[in-house]
Amino acid sequence: MHKGLLALLRAERPIRRHVAVTLAAAVLAGLLVLVQAELLAGVLSGRFTAAALGAVAAVAAVRALLAWSQGVFAGRTATGVKSALRLRLLARLQELGPGRLSGHRSGELVTLTGRGLDGLDAYLTGYLPSIAVAAIVPLAVLVRLFTADLASAVIVLITLPLIPIFGALVGLTTKAVTERQFHALSRLGGHFLDVVRGLPTLRAFGRARYQATVIKQVADAHRSATMRTLRVAFLSSLVLELCASLSLALVAVPIGLRLLGGSLDLTTALLVLLLAPEAYLPLRAMGTRFHASMEGVAAADAAFAVLDAPADEPDQQVRPARVTSAPEITLENVTVRYPGRDDPALDDVSLTISPGERVALVGESGGGKSTLLHLLLGFVRPSAGRVLVDGVDLGTLDLAGWRAHLAFVPQRPHLFTTSVADNIRLGDPSASMEQVRAAAAAAHADFVETLPEGYDTVVGERGTNLSAGQRQRVALARAFCRPGAAMLLLDEPTARLDGRSEAAVVSATAELARGRTAVIVAHRPAMIDLAERVIRIDQGRVTSDTAPALPTVLPTVLSVQSEGSER
């Protein structure tokens, strides 16, 4: 059994019970074949009376009941395992954070947790019970054959190992081609999701048709990989069926000759002919179901690769985050390198941000500004140097406790498909409706009152029914919904906004930053003017650290007009 799934079953007691019932039902149904064969042989040879047919029917009914129980509990096992894996994956992705997941495409992760893990159905409902049956039933049949007819038992004993041997030889190829098929499916899902997300941009630049061609090429690669997998599966079935048929012929032909010669009685001959196929059947079924389950095994390998990814261990014992009302942040010779990249994202950066200071990070795109924010969020760890919060190494702090003291507004805030109020409550799930309204008012998100259902209006996927300025103000309202936040982190909050929306966001940001340590990634002059220091970062290095060229000017609060005035 897959070692990762085995560890999961050991940890999940309800699933373990379902597995036990499934395997027990499968094995008992297999062992009842011996009783059924014994009764049929006796009835057909005249050794038992016709009344024994009732016993045969009762055994068949019990086997049907066991098969039904196996199906029900196998389905519950598959559902439980997939749910547990998805929950663990979600928790692990949250733990690793975006910095550790930069090598994964979001579409591939979606394919893995969705269609990929659904492939475990064939493994858990078919292949796993067949392993238990193949491990016990052929041995029981062999024991009974040895007591009934030694010559036939020896033939079965010699030919029986041929099926797993040929199955293993073909199975090695099957595993490799199935893994390639799963990776092709992941690439297809990932690329398709990326194209759907970027469809407006592709249409704007006239590249939608080209991406349709690319998707066709990726789909053709997946189709080719699937056909290779099916060819190997059909070849395996042919080999196993041929091997089993020839083995049965080696048993049946001598039985017939000996029966004609009078050296074997009819009851024994019938019993051997009924039992011999049952010795090969579990192994043939296991081989067939092995191919059907390989996609699920490939998905399980990918899932446990994410779950078993080494976590960043702190250099010292984790300590609770005790943060002052406005913490001091110090970077000491910090270098950050991402896997697969030669140049560092940050290179030997040293700076100090005083308590309550507002700092603007400026520079060309890709210079390392967002990486610095991710450092402070704990999404990435320094390859060298350290980050200090009030003199304590951030790597030794409880990150969940530290993030509870942060208010973060990204450049592209993600709005979930739920109500506006619940999107604002992401900052504080326990916030009352009054607190939500107060946060929205502080963020100049007065437009919410004009929505069809007000704060109960359901936001479209990724906030599609809101303008860019409205989405940004909802994100700011989230930050205002965390009044206990000691530090404010903003990543270009006014990018892609018109003048009126920018003025509202800048005014709200000025209010939000009051009394807090603030780090603002900015390109627009209005946001830079909020800062007391401007730090320029280019190619991962601090190239300048000065006060703003112009005196700090807080913009006048402009009343935001109706939604129709925004673009």
Q: What count of residues does the chain have?
A: 567
Give domain 3-307's CATH superfamily: ABC transporter type 1, transmembrane domain (1.20.1560.10)
Q: What is the pLDDT of residue 550?
A: 46
Q: How far is CA 247 from CA 159, 238, 330, in A?
A: 6, 14, 76
DSSP 425: G
Could you give the percent of the chain with pLDDT greater than 70?
A: 86
| CA 227 – CA 177 distance, rounded (Å) | 10
| CA 131 – CA 156 distance, rounded (Å) | 19
Q: How far is CA 558 from CA 23, 190, 481, 508, 522, in A?
A: 69, 42, 22, 10, 21
Q: What is the pLDDT of residue 400?
A: 81
Q: Which two tokens stand for residue 122?
A: 């064939």
> pLDDT tens-digit profile of 304-317?
888 887 655 555 55
| Domain positions in the chain | 3-307, 329-565
Q: What is the pLDDT of residue 49?
A: 75
Torsion, CA 313, CA 315, CA 320, CA 326, rounded to 10: -110
N-to-C CA span, the chain: 57
Contact assessment for residue 289 and residue 279, using Cβ atoms and an 8 Å cutoff: no
> pLDDT tens-digit profile of 189-221?
766 766 776 666 666 666 677 777 877 887 888
CA 159 to chain centre: 43
> pLDDT tens-digit profile of 256-268?
888 888 888 888 8
Burial class (CB in 10 A: 0-12, 13-18, 19+), 263: exposed
> pLDDT tens-digit profile of 146-189?
999 898 899 999 988 888 787 777 666 666 777 677 777 777 77
CATH topology classification for 329-565: Rossmann fold (3.40.50)
Q: What is the pLDDT of residue 333?
A: 94
Strands 358-362 and 533-538: parallel
Instruction: Give yes or no for residue 558 having a pLDDT over 50.
Output: no
Highest mean pLDDT of the ranges 298-302, 388-392, 494-498: 388-392
| CA 129 – CA 136 distance, rounded (Å) | 11
Query: Which residue shows structure tokens 């094995």?
Result: 27
> pLDDT tens-digit profile of 48-88?
777 788 888 899 999 999 999 999 999 999 999 999 888 88
